[in-house]
Each structure stands twice: as structure tokens, then as C-alpha cells.
Chains A and B, each alone.
Chain A
Amino acid sequence: MVIDKIFFTIITPIFAFAVGLSFMMIKLKVSARIERRYGPPIIQPIYNILKLLLKEENISHGVIFSLGPVIALAGSILTVLFIPYAGIKLFTGSGDLIALMYIMVIGSLGMALGAGESANPNASIGISRALTLMLGYDLPFVIIIISVVLYYHTTNLADIVAAQAHGHWTLWSLPLSAIVGFVVAYGALGEHPFDIITAPHEVATGPMVEYGGKHLGFLVINHAFHIYIEIALFVDLFLGGATNVLWFYVKMFAVFFIMMLFDEVYPRFKIDDAVRFFWKWPTIVALISLIIVLVK
């Protein structure tokens, strides 16, 4: 039993990284085809990460600056271990959904800590945008989590997945919550129109502006984990998880493919417009969904 736990604790982050990386690869090709380009080779993200890790010189602005990407990556790996996938549940216990909501923030906070030390104005603006955007999408996110928890009478993510077995997905029983969950996951992923944080034309990749070399390599790896976390959580909460790895991957890919298409057509919000959007429509719809759950 203990051996099993240790084995899956090692294998789960590797699986999550592989899934996130494969999505990054596919996204490059799909966006290229939509823009009528040939696009980079499919394993370009691997080249990028290895090149960044092989840089001969690394500049640090202080201890926390170097620790920032490590904290972000550690937070992401911890979050990954809390998410059950394909029948494998590692750290699940009662109340793990609430714990997950707190742990998910560590990644962003680690990056904010590190980027803050670089004292670059672009980085400061990027951090303030990241935390403001988080304030925006966390409100509807918490409301839909409450409605899902009330619907299933449990805060255990593995129990929620088990309750959705045989096609009784939350997507069918709580469709409004599922729509809001999709928008929230999409906003947390930081794709267009919510790529305010890293907007290259405005704040020069925001928090990452002073990062280069190995630090940036860690942040790119962290991004792969980030993609996995947001989509795996959506699949677990609303699409009923999965019984095997392949089916889980197919469900995640379906969600990510729709997100890719949204990413290609939208321009960028301003930060106040983004927060206004999140606090208006997704919040209203989430509240309606919560009332439906309470009345039922």
C-alpha cells in the first residue's frame, strides 16, 4: 500500500507534465494551421525547454528571485498530487476540494514573489494584473464549487468523481455551473482574451520579464503543469473523471481543443474589463445555478 503511494507520487507529476507538454505541442500546430502557416516542428517545446536549461549564464536578482520559479513549480506539483485521475487518488480525504482551492494559488504567489524582487516596473504591473485577475475569476469559481459540493453532499473530489459514474455527469445535472466552470478554467489558463498578465505588447511578458535561462525553463515547465491542473480539475468536476488514462486524456483533449479555438479568435481584455466580465456574467449564472441546487 505504501509502496503503491510512493510509486504513484512519482509517476503522477511525470504523467501531468507529459500531458501538459503534449497540449503545448498540439497547440502550436493547431494555431499555425488556423493562421494558414506550416508551424514549428511538433517537438519545439522540448527544444525550447532544453535550450533554456542549457543556457551558460544565469542572472539572479536575489535569493527569492531564484526561489520564485521553484516555489511555483513545487506548488504546481503538490496541486497535481491532489487531483484524482483515472481512478488513482493519492492525497484525497474529506475536504480535499477546499484544500485544493488554497493550494492552487501557491503557483501564482511563487511567481509573484520572485518577480517582485527583480524590481522591474513591467514585472510589478504584471503581478498586480495577475492577482487582480485571480480576484476576478475566484468569485464565480468559489460559487460553483459550493454548488457542486451542495449537490453531492461531499467535499471529497474522489467521491464527486465516483458519484458521476455511468454517465451521470455534472455537465448534465448542473449545466449552468459547468459553463461557468469552463469560463473560469479558461480565464485561469490565461489565454486570449485573458492573457492580460503576460501581454507581450504592453508589459513585456509581465512577471517573466527579468527571467531568462534556467529560471525561465522552470517557468515553462510550470506552465505545462498549469494547463494540466486547470483542465484536469474541470474534467473531474464536470465531465465525470475517467476510469482509465486514455479516456481521461481524450476528455482533457476535447476541453483543451475548444479552448484553443477560443484562443485564436479573441483580442485582449483590459484588466478592469476582465474583472468586470468575471464579476458580472459568470457570477450571475453561478448564483442562478446555486439557487437551483438549493431549491432542488
Chain B
Amino acid sequence: MDRLTEEQAKTIANMLRKRSLWMIHYCTGCGAIELPPTMTSRYDMSRFGLAPFVTPRQSDILLVTGYVNIKTLRRIITVYEQMLDPKYVIGFGSCPINGGVYWDSYSVIKRLDRYIPVDLYIAGCMPRPEAVITAFRTLMDMIDQGKADGYKRYKRNLAYYKENQRKVLG
């Protein structure tokens, strides 16, 4: 039997990772209300091996559901840094993309991507559970192809992200 090459090992690992994604049930803003129907009997996201979890250490996906205050951003960064690699971030709704209806607010950040690396966005206000599940399926495909590498970007460009975080958090 030949020994597995690094590439093959990575492919197998990604295949297993995409089938078991644990989502940290940490909610910011109003998007949280779309998650209970996604989890429970009506849309049942556990069909795809997704499950809600409560601590950052055990989770793989961070869903940023809705607008992000400067106060909340501090917590999001803590949670994100406590999660173990490989980890993925999904920006949920229009607020993490461009600020949404809070585009001119003094206390809400406009682009989440400047502070933590986002792998995937779900557009809409609010995205329905169908859209959430489509996003999860897309994330699974991205993991399979090795494209969901936000955690590597964060390590590579740590200075850039820390600089941006310092600007708003002080």
C-alpha cells in the first residue's frame, strides 16, 4: 500500500470536515430569528450534518447574524480567536456586507471583512431559511475545493486586521 500523499490526506480531511459543521449559536442583531426555524423540524439543517453548539472551542462556523456594533465587534473578535482551526465565518444579511440600513450610523461597523475574514455572505434583509441552507451547502462545496481559507488569510494578514480593529476599538 502506498503512503498517502499530503494532497490526498488534505482531500480526505476536507471531505470529512464538510460533512460535520458545528455552528456556534452566537447571535448579533435581528438575523438570529431566522436560525430557530432553520435548526428545528421545519427546515432541519441537521440533515447536512450541521448542529448548533454553545461554546467557541467546539464550533467550526461563526455566523454573524445582522448588524455589528463596535461593542459587539470586540466580542466577535474574542469568539473568533477562541475557535480552533479550521474555522469559517458567514456574514448573514446585508448589514455585515455594507452596513445595510445602518450605513450612516456612528456606532455600527460597515464592512465586517475589514475586521475578521469572511468566507461567505448571504445577501438579503432577512435571508430566509432556504437561503441560509443554500449558503451552508455553498460553504460545504468551498471547503471541498479548499477555497474556504479565511482562517489562513487571518494568520497571513494579521497586521492588517489588527490595524483595522485598533482603529475602531481604540
Report the bound CA distance from A68 to B41 in whole Å.
36
Residue A40 at the chain B interface, CB threshold 8 Å: yes
Report the bound CA distance from A50 to B47 in whole Å.
18
Report the bound CA distance from A205 to B44 in whole Å.
22
Residues in A with CB closer than 8 Å to B48 are 40
Known: A205-B58, A216-B58. A47 touches B16 (CB 8 A): yes
Instruction: Check A213 against B16 for contact (C-beta < 8 Å).
Output: no
Report the bound CA distance from A19 to B91 in whole Å.
40
Instruction: Check A200 against B20 for contact (C-beta < 8 Å).
Output: no
| Interface locus among B49-57, B94-102, B121-129 | B49-57
Residue A228 at the chain B interface, CB threshold 8 Å: no
Q: Name the residue among B53, B60, B84 with the largest chain A CB count within 10 angstroms.
A: B84
Residue A268 at the chain B interface, CB threshold 8 Å: no
Q: How far is the CB of B117 from chain A (nearest CB, A)?
A: 16
Q: How far is the CB of B64 from chain A (nearest CB, A)?
A: 20
Task: Bin chain A's interface residue count.
Answer: 20 to 34
Report the bound CA distance from A259 to B1 in whole Å.
44
B contacts with A, residue count (CB < 8 A):
24
Residue A74 at the chain B interface, CB threshold 8 Å: no
Residue A51 at the chain B interface, CB threshold 8 Å: yes
Known: A51-B20, A54-B16. A37 touches B46 (CB 8 A): yes
Write the chain A residue with the least CB distance to B56: A212
Residues in A with CB closer than 8 Å to B60 are 51
Residue A39 at the chain B interface, CB threshold 8 Å: yes
Instruction: Check B57 against A48 for contact (C-beta < 8 Å).
Output: no
Residue A210 at the chain B interface, CB threshold 8 Å: yes
Given A40-B51, A211-B58, 14 new contacts (CB under 8 A)? A35-B40, A39-B46, A40-B48, A47-B19, A50-B20, A51-B19, A54-B16, A56-B84, A201-B54, A204-B55, A205-B54, A210-B55, A212-B56, A212-B58
